[in-house]
Amino acid sequence: MLNKSPPIFHHSYLPPLGKQLFNVLNLFALI
């Protein structure tokens, strides 16, 4: 199912997820 997902969805989905993860890490670093 994940293999059949189009690259466009993959590209538009991954960057925001990575950005969110980075923001969470920054939040933990601030505490």
pLDDT of the residue at 24: 85
User: Which amino acid is located at 27 in the chain?
Assistant: L
CA 14 to chain centre: 4
The confidence score (pLDDT) of residue 5 equals 57
Q: What is the pLDDT of residue 31?
A: 63
Q: What separation in angstroms does the CA of 26 have from each of 9, 12, 18, 21?
A: 26, 22, 12, 9
Phi/psi of residue 28, nearest 5 degrees: -65, -35
**pTM score:** 0.40
- Which token pair is 14? 């991954």
Both tokens of 4, joined, read 């059949």
How would you write the pLDDT of the chain (31 residues) with one tens digit per residue?
455 655 555 555 556 777 888 888 888 887 6
